[in-house]
Amino acid sequence: MQLVRPAAVHLLDYTAALRLGWSPISTRPQAAQEELLAIKADASDYLRWMDDPEGQGPPITLADGQQASRLPTLRRWLWADDADLLHAGAHPATPGWRRFIGVISLRWMPGNAPLPPHVLGHVGYAIVPWHAGRGHASAALAAVLPLARAQGLDRIELTTDPENLASQRVITRNGGVFVEHFNKGATCGHQPGLRYNIWL
């Protein structure tokens, strides 16, 4: 598995995953259609904001449908190598969507300031179902840590749901330390969450 900066060469596979019903934002299934519409409207503009270290891109849509200013963000797509495809039950020559594994994003506040309440952690990720359970999320999180250091962060905060044991394992495998139980706030319907830190 490798992390790639989203580019035009990857769009066909990425949009195929979206059309199969996968969403890059697990709390917002409708994000799949929103991404497809954005790519159809202007693919080059869509790709331009995948690397946005100044936070100049268009607003983001929160879990409750409200919009908020975009934070400085780097997004990477996870791409399968031939070994990944074999483990997923596909021949290495299989074209198209089988090579797309998922997405991981890093966001932060300038000057290492605390994240705003509606931003649940510095890192978010989503893996497609046909590549789930093979350690890709753990590997992607490990690969993002140097990007966080390069932005001057001394730690990253991650959150997950109390019942999401798989996500908790991803975090702890990468050195995550449990901080607290917390309330996710109004934008997430005041659902309970777990907060972790990874010190860089």
Residue 63 lies in a domain: yes
Query: Among 157, 173, 155, 19, which Cα is nearest to 100's?
Result: 19
Find how far residue 138's CA is from the centre of its chain: 12
Alpha-carbon separation of residue 109 from 54, 74, 123, 156, 157 (angstroms): 10, 12, 12, 11, 12
Cα–Cα dist 159/121, whole Å: 6
| Structural domain boundaries enclosing 36 | 2-153
pLDDT at 15: 93
Distances, alpha carbon 75 to alpha carbons 59, 126, 144, in Å? 15, 12, 10
- Is residue 184 in some structural domain? no
Q: Quick check: is 190 in a domain?
A: no
pLDDT at 111: 86
Q: Please classify residue 117 by burial: count the beta carbons closer than 10 Å to its beta carbon, then call 0-12 exposed, 13-18 middle and 19+ buried.
A: exposed
Output the domain CATH number for residue 132: 3.40.630
> Which of 137, 140, 116, 138 has the alpha carbon at shortest distance from 127?
137
- Position 163 in a domain: no
> 168 near 193, Cβ under 8 Å?
no
Specify the number of domains making up the chain: 1
pLDDT value at residue 93: 47
Q: Mean pLDDT of residues grouped by 10 in the chain (200 residues)?
A: 93 91 88 94 95 90 83 94 63 59 95 90 93 92 96 95 95 97 88 96
Check residue 83 and give its pLDDT. 64
Neighbours of 81 (CB within 10 A): 12
Instruction: Please give the Cα distance from 128 to 180 (Å, whole number).
Output: 29
pTM: 0.89
- E-strand ranges in the chain read 2-4, 51-52, 60-61, 67-68, 73-79, 100-107, 123-127, 155-160, 177-183, 192-199
Identify the three-state secondary structure at position 183.
strand
Rg (CA), the chain: 16
